[in-house]
Amino acid sequence: MGEVYRAMDTRLGREVAMKVLPAAVARDPERLARFKREARVLAALNHPNIATIFGVEDEALVMELIEGETLGERIKAGAIPVEDAVHIAQEIAAALEYAHQHGVVHRDLKPANVKAAERVKVLDFGLAKVHEVEDQSSDATITSATQAGMILGTAAYMSPEQASGLPVDARSDIFSFGVLLYEMLSGRRAFSEDTPISTIGAVLHKEPRPLHEIAPQVPSELESVVTRCMAKKPVERYQNMPDVREALKKAATRAAATAEPDGPSLAVLPFANLSADKENEYFSDGLAEEILIALSQMKGLRVAARSSSFSFKGKQAEPGEIASKLNVGHILDGSVRRAGNRVRVTVQLVDARRCIPLWSDRYDRQMEDIFEVQDEIARAIAAQLQVTLGGGGVKQATQNVEAYELYLKGRHYLNQRLASTMRLAIQCFEQAIQMDPNFPLAYAGLADCYAILRVYGFIRHEEGQGRALAAVTKAKALEPNSAEVNASLGLYAFYFGRWQDSGAHFERAVQLNPRSSLAQGYLALYLAMARKRDEAVARARTSCQADPLNPYAYALAACAFQILKEAEGGLSLTEKALELQPDFLFGLWMQGLVLTELERHEEAVLALEKVIGISRAPIFVALVAMGYARAGRKEDALRLLRELEERRDRGEFVPQWSPAGAMIELGDVEGLRNALKGALAESNPAFGIRLLATHRLDDYRSDPEVDRLLKQFFGY
């Protein structure tokens, strides 16, 4: 179908893929004109799972350059794991659905036309219908012009109607999709004969070997989807791609719900607050979280992460649905009712696969007995699931009930990650410390508050550094082998000290608690800053796997990908974060950045404008100014920069480094120098500068002063 070259677009300074057209097309003015018309239609297909067509130049097709292996190359190593195959299939189906909605049928869907890198990309959409190749000696491909009755496509993947030279519609792609999914799951072609003609005969008249005979690991629900896609008659297949996607989703959900996880596994749902005072919700949430932490200490028990479990708060969901999404076998839920100094805790353990209650109990106690209640619940769960509770019981960081309550309330506010709630969290942690001066987790929480306030530009370095250092130092002295304390030490170094010192602390936190999504995510950020790509990507993925329903985990991973200049991978992560929480500030922030790097400027600006719709903090205003400048909206960018200057003149703290990205996009070298000098003077976090200033920051290293300043920040 032509030869493909890696090329440089010298006007836009980007690498592209350039497909030189077959001579039969290039020499024929009428066919070339028709090809260009159709190329314009295809170029209008704008979907993250479709390779972008930029245009036709000098009898060549100019396309997005996509690195990585094709699906065909990946299948050569054998069958793809079921979960991965379903994920890839869903992304291919999304691309086909979008194309079909725009009147385009692929007609040559096969493993060689799918790139399966960080993001799945379908290639060569619809181009086969205008290509003509004289040489038909290949044992795999038969092509011709598009006259009625002529055969076009790749023999092993074409539909029966396509193989018969009949008109085709979207259902033809559905057949090819089924063949492709069959091959992913089994590692074998559905139709494979010695010659193209005999292969076509198999497509027309033979059924492929049943999946369960060659790939017993494939769930029967998923095999049913594949079989229906490959029905010989179009009317017997799914009639459109949305139906295919829904069937895939249901099959995966049912398979997960009936799967037996390796060893006992459990999700602790947030406990319902039945107290008259709705403000007691922090206590019911905190109690469930403390029990979750205690259960995580059990040997041989896998416990779903807090953020994933708590994503079901306030939602009506069946145990089977929860179990399938969290990949667990058991659910623990409960309720809390407080009245004065009395508390009633009701809990229930459910076998989620069979929806059968295994155990339940009710505890009516005084508040001072709440630690004993936690211990009793943990021991009852251990007995039911036949696992061992480590450490001889639930280890409490404090025995002071009032301090414990304040700590739970502080953690409730801290998890909301807003400037206003962060200050409420500080008050709670400080009061908890007054109640119990030897409460290590309260000190760690206090340090985390100041670190987060600092990186978001809400406080000056000198306002938080001393307090954070004192808190984290005390926490370490009290509990040096706590994962939470070591993660706090890492955050302090990352945002207040030398970021290079944070790695050892994050690694120690991961050693102490490998299931900590937060520790894994921050370790990925450190590794990205240290330019250790492979390790950073691995940690980022582990972070998301450890807490698959936590938008913060995906946004942290996207942050690492952005620093590594892996914008495509970062975009898919932000999409997942925003799917889980559409108004998630960090997710929108990261999506705006990665879309900017992908030069999808209108979409980037929309995402960034949503950020300042939620918070007009100076760093976010500066971020939108950068997006405007990159999109060519210079006056809008300058307007926002003037706003920051006016706010600084009124005495508001505006970090000196915040406009660095806008200065780069505006080509203001002197402004960039001043921003970096001010950032050094204010001891701003190097991480913030790396993230906000975009990848074009390194383009300015040719300026000796900029290069010198950057080396002071990054050490390279």
Task: Single out the catalytic residue among 9, 58, 84, 108.
Answer: 108
Q: How far apart are CA 63 and CA 124, in angstroms?
A: 10
Closest Cα partner for 605 from 561, 562, 636? Answer: 636
**Is-contact 419 456, C-beta < 8 A?**
yes
State how far the alpha carbon of 295 is from the alpha carbons of 40, 361, 407, in Å.
58, 17, 20
**What are the tokens at 312?**
């079901």
Measured distance CA(269)–CA(453) in Å, rounded: 29
Q: How many angstroms separate the CA atoms of 65 and 324, rounded?
A: 37
- Counting Cβ atoms within 10 Å, is residue 260 exposed (0-12), middle (13-18) or buried (19+)? exposed
The pair of three-digit structure tokens given for residue 394, joined into one six-digit string: 């639930």
CB 595 within 8 A of CB 561: no
Distance of CA 175 to the CA centre of its chain: 30
Integer Cα distance of 122 and 105 in angstroms: 12
Query: C-alpha distances in angstroms, 270 versus 103, 282, 336, 415, 654?
Result: 47, 10, 10, 14, 38
Locate all alpha helices (DSSP H) within 530-600, ordered by sequence.
533-546, 551-563, 567-580, 585-597
Identify whether the C-beta of residue 122 lies closer than 8 Å to the C-beta of residue 128: no
Name the DSSP class of 499. G
CA torsion 216→217→221→227, rounded to 10°? -50
Q: How far apart are the C-alpha atoms of 330 and 319, rounded to whole Å?
A: 8
- Which has the closest alpha carbon to 50: 91, 83, 87? 91
Residue with tokens 């946004």: 555
- Please say if 108 is a catalytic residue: yes
**251, 222 Cβ separation under 8 angstroms:** yes
Strands (E), 254-372: 265-268, 272-273, 302-303, 330-339, 342-351, 356-366
Contact status, residue 92 vs residue 106, Cβ threshold 8 Å: no
Cα→Cα distances 218→138, 173, 245, Å: 33, 22, 17
Structure tokens at 503: 């790695």
60-64 and 53-57 as β-strands: parallel, antiparallel, unpaired?
A: antiparallel
Closest CA to 116 of 159, 86, 146, 149: 86
CA distance 228 to 236: 7
CB 429 within 8 A of CB 446: yes
Rounded to the nearest angstrom, the gap between the alpha carbon of residue 510 and the centroid of all alpha carbons in its chain is 20
Active site residues: 108
